[in-house]
Amino acid sequence: MRKINLNIMRRIFLFTVLLVLTAIGANAQHNSILDAPKVHPDSPAKAAEKKWYQNFSIRGYMQVRYNRLLETNENLGNEQGDKSWGKDGGFFIRRMRVILYGQLSKQVYFYIQPDFASSPSSDKLHFAQLRDAYMDIGADKKNEFRFRIGQSKVPFGFENMQSSQNRLPLDRNDALNSAVSNERDLGVFFYYAPKNIRERFAYLVSSGLKGSGDYGVFALGAYNGQTANNPELNNEPHYVARVSYPFMVKKQIIEASIQGYTGQFVLTKANLSTSVKYAQNLNYLDQRVAASLIWYPQPFGIQAEYNIGKGPEFNKATDSIETRDLSGGYVTFNFKTEYKNHLFYPFVRYHQYKGGKKHEKDARSYDIKELEIGLEWQPVKNFELVAMYTISERRYEDFAKQDNLQKGNLLRLQAQLNF
């Protein structure tokens, strides 16, 4: 994959935003003259306007897990996913999310999501950490054009953007999730989708079809590139673009997407071994392109994604961190059925990934092959239970741990509360 010229990408991005803002400004001025409501300050219509706190809502969810049943290798771990795998792992609160959100006015929306069960390492559990904090500013009356400002999910990959509250497998696949740890970063993202497609995105979630939410038919953004809750380190933002469309084929919905990002990722010395070799300025090319295809389960479904790119990765042959090729993806087969008002989702997912994980020690090198067989049961709307059997082969190596191949199987359980 050729290296993308960041200066050209930056100019294209800024030029696009300038055009959009110019069009929006002209439209807003026109509408303000022709469509401004003629309401007297003391009229009944003025008095009947809702206060901001009347458009304020709260929801959330909690996940409690146990991963040690039928375990065959206690040394098998998953640092970016569930840190309670393996030795000394026990009952574990994976997530405890409380979401504050609301449409404060016709064109201003806010969303704040802290997690009260963040785990920076396997021996430090249940820390509070900010996940999302953003505002959506509608640029037209229908909010078909909007800007998202703050910390939010980077529009790269379907499963990355799909809420953990809706996802069937207990953890996201390594191949695309290695692109953005915690799926989020701080920046500005522009989204466009016509009203009927925004309604379709909402339906794919509310109907139990396991949609990803509304991230637009077209997305374009600039963000720090060091991932959520980390500061910018090189004054060069990452750029991302995505096109996605949920097609109606009779009663079936099929969503196809293509997305990509580019930037320079900066390693931190605190996350490097003392003897490992690395680039003097700690900057590494970080770019990917991915394709997604989702056949929503009505009742049978298929979900598949694949990405290729370049990024920092530890090379044990030279004891150094180098910019290297990466690739990987997954396919999930699932089924949605109902019996006596109980929902059941049997699923099978296979995923593989070969490349580095820039967020981990020495940009740890990975070669992963994993098969998961599971069932989600929803007896009521507020409670879900998932059982998933994992067959895993993971090679993960850094300067201290070389030739580290771990194989094993385990049965994983999760109880989820929705409120």
Write the pLDDT tens digit of every residue in 90-118.
999 999 999 999 999 999 999 999 999 99
| DSSP 8-state code for residue 23 | H
Answer yes or no: is 196 within a domain. Answer: yes
Answer yes or no: is 312 within a domain. Answer: yes
Range of the domain at 379: 6-36+51-418
CA–CA gap between residue 378 and residue 103 (Å, rounded): 30
- Using CB atoms within 10 Å of the CB of residue 277, give its burial: 0 to 12 exposed, 13 to 18 middle, 19+ buried: middle
- CA 403 centroid distance within chain: 31
| Helix count and strand count (H, E) for the chain | 5, 17
Instruction: Provide the pLDDT for residue 320.
Output: 98
| Residues with pLDDT less than 70, the chain | 1-48, 121-123
Number of domains in the chain: 1
Answer yes or no: is 183 within a domain. Answer: yes
CA–CA gap between residue 126 and residue 409 (Å, rounded): 26
- The backbone region for 86, taken as left when phi is positive above 0, alpha when psi lies in -120 to 50, beta otherwise, is left
Answer yes or no: is 26 within a domain. Answer: yes
Answer yes or no: is 227 within a domain. Answer: yes
Answer yes or no: is 207 within a domain. Answer: yes
Answer yes or no: is 45 within a domain. Answer: no
Per-residue b or e along 331-358, where b marks 16 or more CB atoms closer than 10 Å to that residue's CB: ebbbebeeeeeebebebebbbbbbbbbb
Pairing of strands 145-153, 184-192: antiparallel
Answer yes or no: is 147 within a domain. Answer: yes
Residue 157, amino acid: G
In CATH, what number is assigned to the domain containing residue 196?
Answer: 2.40.160.10
Instruction: Provide the pLDDT for residue 92.
Output: 94
- Closest by CA position to 111, among listed 182, 154, 56, 63: 56
Name residue, tokens 């920076």: 120
pLDDT tens digits for range 175-217 = 999 999 999 999 999 999 999 999 999 999 999 999 999 999 9
